[in-house]
Structure 1
Amino acid sequence: MADVDQAKQAARERMWSLLEREHAVPPGVHGRIPSFFGAEDAAARLAKLPEWHDARVVKAVPDTPQEPVRARALREGKLVYMAVPKLAEDMPFYLLDPAELTVTPEEAAARRVAAQVGRKVDVDAMQPVDLIVCGSVAVNQRGVRLGKGAGYSDIEVALLQEAGLIGPGTTIVTTVHSLQVVDEDLPETAHDFSVDIIVTPEAVIRCGEPRRPRGLLWDDLPPEKIAAIPVLAARQKARR
């Protein structure tokens, strides 16, 4: 596992350096999901897909490059779930309901504003999710992706899988800069999920057979991470 983690981090570092060198992102991208130039165009391209058109409920990451996606979803009347930072609350998701917003969709899509106007909900109170939008540091054409290394997106997907809120009909998409799409194998582990669709400002790439963990892989979760995420601590206690 340590070797895989090191390989993942090396791939991230190469990508962050490439993006900065090619001026595809603002400075200071290391350690982050890249806020790539063209994120608005990628969101617009995503919105042309049938999977987007058919989606009524969207689960989106809170990262800045996916803010245009969240704003567009709210403008179009979709329910948006967004994770509480680091899943650090008993109710680990915000619900953004366009019918209940007291600010514009563009304002509500911003992470800090969403935390103020969104309603916190537990996994058990969520509706089934039609479309998941995630950020990536790098992704290949098979749909294997690397996040920034914290593992929260994997935990979110596993939680939704265990709760029966996602299934074969749920599409997972990532929006990225074209440079973030690599033509090479990327290291992955059993708890990683793959994406179905990659959307860049210029193109849509449909990936191969998706890979979804069946749920939380407890043996892969360090005790300190379980203790720091209330929903995991509660579920571990219930398992005993």
Structure 2
Amino acid sequence: MTNEARWAGRNSDKDVLRNDIWGKLETTGVNVGPVASRIPNFAGADLAAWRLAQVPAWKAARVVKCNPDPPQIPVRLRALHEGKILYAPVPELVKGFPFVRLDPADLKARGIEFETAATSQSFVEVGQPVQFEDMEFLDFVVVGCVAVTRAGGRTGKGGGFADLELGIFRELDKVGPVTAIATTVHSSQVVDDARLPMMPHDSALHWIATETELIETKTAFGQPKGVDWDRVQPDQYENIPFLVELRERLEK
């Protein structure tokens, strides 16, 4: 893959790894649609979602947060069909509100199909807009990944959205030590530990579900305690409308 990734330049090692993963998915033909600069969709995403739903913490969860990307449509759909409250972020956090809340009972009452509400094109329209402070405690968090390791390492597409969200959740006590952090990926996205450097602001995974297996990482990585505001990029302040105001509220 030769084209410059959208968020390239923040970490050269991760840039190389992401390009390798995106290229491999296309070469092997297991990608579903375009992959460059994206959380890549893949053949078997529905089976990976089924494996994730076998995790005891998922089964016990009442409130789930899931990233907005296409490979996690089956995860969001399962959450709604299982009667869980689902929080989903506005893709790339480009609106004045960061998340929407999807209540299966409310969707049913309004005649909205879960299959529609599970897509990012629709959930922003049919969900209830909420600010971070308005969200309930999250029992289970699903993040999008481009590459992962069995030790719990992860990287997304490079925009820093997942780590920023998780940092804010921690500062607001919306997640805790018992909150599971998980993802669904294709098995080819699981790489050797040495290939994926983890930084102090990176959040580690507890569970990884692929089309072939369910991995409990039992990660030894420590989790950040909040947002490392010094590492927030200028373009994030420019492109995320509420971020400056939110930082001011959190630092009061």
1:104 CA displacement? 1.5
- Secondary structure of the residue aligned to 1:31 is coil
Shift of 1:116: 1.2
Q: Give the equivalent residue in structure 1 for 2:30.
A: 24
After superposition, the C-alpha distances for 1:64-113 in whole angstroms (9 at most, x for unaligned) are 00000000100110000001122223321010110111311111101111
1:237 CA displacement: 3.1
CA distance in 2, matches of 1:73, 1:174: 14
3-state SS, counterpart of residue 230 of structure 1: coil
Pick from 205, 213, 229 the counterpart of residue 203 of structure 1.
Answer: 213
Distance 1:14 1:143 in 2: 19
Match for residue 49 of structure 1? 55
Residue 59 of structure 1 aligns to a residue whose secondary structure is: strand
2:224 is equivalent to residue 213 of structure 1? yes
1:65 matched to 2:71: yes
Higher mean C-alpha displacement, 158-167 vs 24-33: 24-33
Alignment pair present for 1:122 and 2:131: yes
Pick from 225, 230, 234: which aligns with 2:236?
225
Aligned equivalents of 2:180, 2:152: Cα separation in 1: 12
Cα pair distance change 1:4/1:228, threshold 3 Å: closer
Residue 17 of structure 1: how far off its partner (Å)? 0.8
Q: Percent identical across equivalent pairs?
A: 41
Aligned to 1:140: 149
Q: CA deviation at 1:27?
A: 5.0
Distance 1:181 1:163, change over 3 A: same
Query: May I ask how many residue pairs the two structures share in their alignment?
Result: 239
| TM-aligned CA deviation for residue 19 of structure 1 | 1.1
Letter in 2 for 1:187: P
CA distance in 2, matches of 1:161, 1:143: 18
Q: Shift of the alpha carbon at 1:26?
A: 3.0
Corresponding letter in the other structure for 1:179: S
2:45 is aligned with 1:36: no
Q: Which residue of 2 aligns with 1:180?
A: 189
Deviating more after overlay: 17-26 vs 36-45: 17-26
Indicate whether 1:160 and 2:166 are aligned.
Answer: no
> 1:210–1:166: structure 2 CA closer, same or farther, 3 Å change rule?
farther
Which string of whole-angstrom CA distances, capped at 9 and with x for unpartnered residues, describes residues 143-180 of structure 1? 11110011111111111111100001100011011111
What's the counterpart of residue 116 of structure 2?
107
Gaps of 5+ in 1: none
Letter in 2 for 1:205: I
CA distance in 2, matches of 1:68, 1:94: 18
Q: 2 CA distance for matches of 1:233 and 1:4? A: 21
Measure the CA separation in 2 of the matches of 1:110 and 1:28: 17
Please give the secondary structure, in 2, of the residue aligned with 1:67. Answer: helix
Per-residue Cα deviation, 1:174-205 (whole angstroms, up to 9, x for no partner): 10111111123202222211100110111111
Letter in 2 for 1:46: L
Cα distance in structure 2, aligned partners of 1:31 and 1:3: 13
Taking the aligned partners of 2:38 and 2:234, their CA distance within structure 1 comes to 24
Q: Which runs of 5+ in 2 are unaligned?
A: 1-7
